[in-house]
Structure 1
């Protein structure tokens, strides 16, 4: 920031310090314990404390305001680490705070702190700011520069920085919402798990974007301003009236419910505190995007957000209703025509979702449901602003909005369920439409023609019974094959003949893998280009691959994962239908292209892949270890977005699992050392593979190259030697790139390929490091350098 802004911030902090006792000095070798007094260091006024606070059955390290009856947490160290046990201690050493727990390796806090100089002390200010100092009080790190969910008086949220809500009132790990001080000068609230923040995902903005760099600053007197580089205050929010008596502390927090609020805490002389909400960014809690999950919507009940499932849907996790809803019935694919199968529409009034329509019709509200009912691809329709919008699942950002809007949900079952039993008082059902087979029409016609002949009618009835019994037997045999796909995923079921026609009898081959060949095709009814994977190995292997891949991909939904559109399990045929990736694989782009991709594009590819893996590891249920991350399995769509493919080797984890045993799988060169040690694999095996891929993206060359000087044959060894020698430019063959970004990318890659899994970062930390949100320490030498036999 500019000098004027820095001076203003200094003045606000200085005024706080001079009005109150300055600070508590924490000396080297001072320590506190989680359960034995002392458990914290308090600021001189006693308003703020730094130390251990209880969370569940364990303890976290953080800073809190000593409010009554419960303390108010304002900052948490390493907030996504699990709580520590009661036998933990925190010691200030010359290289930082050391968290010591019996039976575990010492950990230095906070994670953002890294210094080549020794500390002299730590100071706990009455402003709530914890500062680490070198000798002569030279500031090296302060908690005010690394806010979690709160900023305090005298603290700023700088351009590009974020606040993240807590998971819950009793769990201060990263939650579901974020506040971003954008580079365009706008302060915006978003759901956290977004690949790219766009205006359509924002649910509140200060509307102050001036296309200039500004920071949000909370002054100790409770006034909040957006301050630009020249020090000019743009009035954004200001506090309400507060009594003059007593001490008042202000904090601005993004709360668990995703709303940004300004609070005042007034302390009387007997240390009793009163908390007031001065400003709330949103009065309606249901307007927070993602306050309720997929296929559910929010309705206020006594001013509290209440998540409700759509008709025909149940909560995915009844104990965590915010995670959304899943179908409680089976929906047949467009090409499946089944005896007695019926579709019908259930209506929910006064509800809207984020628009992701593929078709918009200028028709009346009472015609909207039928329009969806008669469109095989339509899963729901929304009437809004006088238009009917056809939608596909999942539906997101649902809420009651008090308008003339409505949602029409297509449902289907052999015995239609009562859609009104699913919690919505406004749900109604439209007449059913029966889908009939030609054979049934013929039987019915024959019955009418031959009704006058009792003998022939009896014969026809007997034939019908025989047919029904055989159909039921056939159905049971299919179910006994353990495929049960319709119960696990909602995908389109293709017939074998459809895919033969779509691929022109499997004419154009796109690629070949261990379990089958991929062909290019076109769906005749929509002219959509598809990729069809035909499993060709032994039935046992092919079926196992088929089940694994459909389970894994069918449950995922992310812009950096190749989307599975459908399947075919007709007879002995096992085929998977994917979206077509028109620009081939990352391997072709890096290793076979005449010109290497632009550096900025390569950085974007690397982030795309990292976000896809992060989704597999942490955001989808169950968590997935891909087990075969390599450039050949990273495909590029028509917009050059990198997407991860080939989940046939994925190893699914149960919700409470973090590691699992399995035989060696994947591709040599990208395999982590633990594959060869007969020890459990974890998500860190994918991190290792990603590290190799990242270095290949940086250098545009394969892991092993034989036609190069001897010291460059193994990519990891060459990269590390160039890094230690300060010669990273050699990796790029004369390409001009920004040195800081190159250094950051290389360090991330080297950390990912560490020999010990515990040393490798999580994919969340990989993304943070690559985006420049955290400092990256110098990586040690990766011991395991060759898995290529």
Structure 2
């Protein structure tokens, strides 16, 4: 007799065994009854049911059109939900046919004989087909072996019992009624990572990943309705669960998993017996069990323009499980009423930052208060401190012509200024900030009427005075002339100030900055363009600033210098040091930056104690994002030309900020072939600096690769080259990678040695960056994606040894 202990052991063993695809053996009886043509739209038989009748294959009408899909659907529920289709991008006209040709191929033809779909059977000859009880449509050869399966070429849906290997893809449809390829993709990649992408013809941007890199991954949807990723290439069973909610018994419910038209991967259930829903306790439609990501609105996506899920100026809001919608804030309306995802437009003119703009008359400005709303990627200024209350935050936005909204967080005394267009808008109960949306007051307001009344009274008084006496008329004429001259001077000064405030940039006198630094006494550091001093400007005595005194600026005119500074000032990103103002007074040219309290990355990396591994990794990610912004996302492309740890500063939260960008050379989009003056530091130079090759953004990629190795090893490449080894850090790192001795790069770093998979990924990315041929180096966008594990990382070629000449040490 079998003991209970033995039964429990066997049950546990079955749970630990990897799931295997169900192996079916087919006979002639399994083949569908084949007549020629096999299926014709509009004639009998209308469909081929599976033996159980649960599923059927046939033609289904496309809603709102006179076309049809060759599809598989649930056959026992009233909704007839489609789970696979052959021709979503090319719907069939009436009377189309599924044929088994004389060449033993299944083809879908329209009435004119044009082929709309043909499965890929790799030359194998088809004999018949079978519609299985699990929803899999299978084509069989003469030995009744499967040569093609719908389970291996899914569209947007998977079913219980379906297992996807690497690589596999699910592609969303356009809408509930349009089965053409939509804008989202679920990809099980060759590196084992499961990634959700926003896709279009021009870009492919990830917004969620399973982080199962370097697994031999299988995406498993088991018969119990659970979905998980399993590593099939390890002695210890390793799984990554995607479902945590109870899907309900498979005896009671049907289950499907689908990437929907909004980019959410959903597990849903539906009652098998719809008669049991008669008491109203259960739904007769599909209900969402779980969704990935949990809240699509709160998920950041780096699409081409960073507009977010609902477009510019819009708000994405989740309503219950599986539903999100796009709405406009008050005084805004939809750009396209038939497609809310295209964003919102203001129902008033955009601020012009001109003296006649509506925002210039502050009494005509109003603020609409919004709660639980955020536009996280549109801020360009941050004020903080105990004095920054709601009123102060609103006043800061009122005084700034470019401010479209202010966001205040009372708890920490923070105030963010937002500019048009506002992107990635979302609503959530977890957002505790208050949005103060800046709008012009509605016409007919009391302020406007009072102003008109005052003007009328003034005209009446002037008329009476002008009619009283000649003397008074002359006296009044003189007074009016003086007033007009005074107003002209004010207007002229306002226009000059407006041109500076248009970029939210302050112009300082040399005397102001001399006082701010107490005579340029406290030095923070010396760089390629001059010396940096610590100071406090009189206009903002509560915070420090860093003032760079330029010493090596090319002989540019005043206009050119201000233009260059203006471009830098308009470049805003959380991984860039922000320029606050400038001084251009005679021979004195200075730049005023926000102060970074934690110094440079060089001091942090090469100091006495080694920074934590995860902190170093996050710093590398941030630098990559900042460079990606400079190269690809700001309106004027900027090549830094001097990327090194000394030019990466750390704020109070140790967020990396790139400094000195825009000072080497600004390149317009059509000037990328122009060779720029050699700037930078030996050891970080790309090889093309020493040849006649053109200079492009790839020089920054090379420098980033060297710096990434320094971040990994906590060693300076220049100090390393001067040591006993007499070899370059990049050459030593490649040798360690080639010989599979990566642990030597992180000796005495237990955190890094326990994270060898990520360490290997970072080293491989660095090696790609330091390739001698610039065309082999990835873009910073791809570098960022490779670092974060959302794209494949392939084995790199060997970089040329000693690509840079022996260092002629110049500390700049």
Structure 1 and Structure 2 fold alike (TM over 0.5): yes
Q: How does 1:676-715 map to 2 (within 5 A)?
A: 676-697=690-711, 698-703=713-718, 707-709=722-724, 711-715=725-729
Show the counterpart of 2:374.
354
Pair 1:515–1:370, CA change in 2 (3 A): closer
Give the Cα separation in 2 of the matches to 1:679 and 1:346.
55
TM-score (norm 2): 0.57
Give the Cα separation in 2 of the matches to 1:374 and 1:256.
41
Give the Cα separation in 2 of the matches to 1:720 and 1:589.
24
2:431 is the counterpart of 1:409: no
Give the Cα separation in 1 of the matches to 2:568 and 2:749.
39
Show the counterpart of 2:417.
392
1:756 shift after superposition: 1.0
Q: How does 1:157-556 map to 2 (within 5 A)?
A: 162-168=194-200, 171=201, 173-175=203-205, 177-178=207-208, 218-219=221-222, 236=245, 238=247, 250-253=256-259, 255=260, 257-262=262-267, 279=288, 281=291, 290-292=308-310, 295-297=313-315, 305=325, 308=328, 321-322=342-343, 328-330=350-352, 342=362, 344-348=364-368, 352-354=372-374, 372-373=394-395, 380=405, 391-393=416-418, 397-398=424-425, 408-410=436-438, 418=440, 457-469=476-488, 486-487=501-502, 489-491=503-505, 498-524=512-538, 525-536=540-551, 537=553, 540=556, 544=560, 547-556=563-572
Give the Cα separation in 2 of the matches to 1:419 and 1:13.
67
2:92 is the counterpart of 1:70: no
Give the Cα separation in 2 of the matches to 1:504 and 1:332.
36
Task: Tell me if structure 1 keeps the 8 A contact 2:675–2:695.
Answer: yes
State the SS of the aligned residue for 1:577: strand
Show the counterpart of 1:15.
22
2:620 is the counterpart of 1:606: yes
Pair 1:674–1:344, CA change in 2 (3 A): farther
Show the counterpart of 2:677.
664
Deviation per CA, 1:360-408: give whole Å up to 9, x if none. 99xxxxx9789824886785457999999965225665468999x9854
Q: Which runs of 5+ in 1 are unaligned?
A: 22-44, 48-63, 73-89, 93-121, 131-140, 184-213, 266-275, 362-366, 412-417, 422-426, 435-447
Q: RMSD across aligned C-alpha pairs, in angstroms?
A: 6.3
1:162 shift after superposition: 4.7
Task: Tell me if structure 2 keeps the 8 A contact 1:496–1:570.
Answer: yes
State the SS of the aligned residue for 2:199: strand
State the SS of the aligned residue for 2:685: coil
Pair 1:180–1:401, CA change in 2 (3 A): same
Pair 1:750–1:492, CA change in 2 (3 A): same
Give the Cα separation in 2 of the matches to 1:600 and 1:543.
45
Q: 2:596 aligned to 576, 581, 601, which one?
A: 581
Deviation per CA, 1:297-347: give whole Å up to 9, x if none. 4599xx9955658869999xx9995599999325599xxxx9976364334
1:751 shift after superposition: 1.8
Deviation per CA, 1:408-460: give whole Å up to 9, x if none. 4346xxxxxx5669xxxxx99987999xxxxxxxxxxxxx9xx9976665444
Show the counterpart of 1:635.
649
Give the Cα separation in 1 of the matches to 2:166 and 2:559.
55
1:726 shift after superposition: 5.0
Show the counterpart of 1:268.
none
Pair 1:359–1:550, CA change in 2 (3 A): closer
Q: 2:780 aligned to 763, 766, 782, which one?
A: 763
1:706 shift after superposition: 6.0
Q: 1:128 aligned to 152, 160, 164, which one?
A: 152
1:755 shift after superposition: 0.9
Larger mean Cα displacement after TM superposition, 607-616 or 228-237:
228-237
Give the Cα separation in 2 of the matches to 1:287 and 1:598.
29
1:538 shift after superposition: 5.8
| Structure label with greater radius of gyration | 2
Task: Tell me if structure 1 keeps the 8 A contact 2:207–2:299.
Answer: no
Task: Tell me if structure 1 keeps the 8 A contact 2:309–2:424.
Answer: yes
1:164 shift after superposition: 1.7
Give the Cα separation in 1 of the matches to 2:354 and 2:542.
22
Count how many residue pairs are aligned between Structure 1 and Structure 2.
599
Give the Cα separation in 2 of the matches to 1:384 and 1:590.
33
Task: Tell me if structure 1 keeps the 8 A contact 2:717–2:729.
Answer: yes
Give the Cα separation in 2 of the matches to 1:626 and 1:306.
38
1:261 shift after superposition: 3.4
TM-score (norm 1): 0.58
Show the counterpart of 2:304.
none
Pair 1:720–1:578, CA change in 2 (3 A): same
Give the Cα separation in 1 of the matches to 2:759 and 2:299.
38
Pair 1:348–1:129, CA change in 2 (3 A): same
Show the counterpart of 2:797.
779
Q: Which runs of 5+ in 2 are unaligned?
A: 1-9, 29-54, 58-82, 92-119, 123-145, 155-162, 174-183, 231-236, 271-284, 301-307, 377-381, 452-464
Give the Cα separation in 1 of the matches to 2:659 and 2:397.
30
Give the Cα separation in 2 of the matches to 1:283 and 1:605.
27
Task: Tell me if structure 1 keeps the 8 A contact 2:687–2:803.
Answer: no
1:630 shift after superposition: 1.3
1:757 shift after superposition: 1.7
Give the Cα separation in 2 of the matches to 1:597 and 1:251.
43
2:720 is the counterpart of 1:720: no
Deviation per CA, 1:175-201: give whole Å up to 9, x if none. 474365899xxxxxxxxxxxxxxxxxx
Give the Cα separation in 1 of the matches to 2:23 and 2:244.
21
State the SS of the aligned residue for 1:236: coil
1:748 shift after superposition: 2.5
Task: Tell me if structure 2 keeps the 8 A contact 1:748–1:769.
Answer: yes
1:498 shift after superposition: 4.8
1:742 shift after superposition: 4.4
Task: Tell me if structure 1 keeps the 8 A contact 2:311–2:341.
Answer: no
Deviation per CA, 1:497-544: give whole Å up to 9, x if none. 554443334332223334443221224445112212344546617864
Give the Cα separation in 2 of the matches to 1:723 and 1:467.
73
Pair 1:602–1:674, CA change in 2 (3 A): same
Task: Tell me if structure 1 keeps the 8 A contact 2:683–2:717.
Answer: no
Q: How does 1:85-100 map to 2 (within 5 A)?
A: none
Give the Cα separation in 2 of the matches to 1:546 and 1:505.
24
Show the counterpart of 2:457.
none
Pair 1:397–1:542, CA change in 2 (3 A): same
State the SS of the aligned residue for 1:15: coil
Task: Tell me if structure 2 keeps the 8 A contact 1:225–1:233.
Answer: yes
Deviation per CA, 1:545-564: give whole Å up to 9, x if none. 55335414523222x22223
Give the Cα separation in 1 of the matches to 2:716 and 2:298.
48
Q: 1:753 aligned to 761, 770, 795, which one?
A: 770
Pair 1:237–1:740, CA change in 2 (3 A): closer
Deviation per CA, 1:209-257: give whole Å up to 9, x if none. xxxxx9985346866589997999976264999999xxx994421x453
Deviation per CA, 1:15-66: give whole Å up to 9, x if none. 2766999xxxxxxxxxxxxxxxxxxxxxxx999xxxxxxxxxxxxxxxx954
Show the counterpart of 2:129.
none
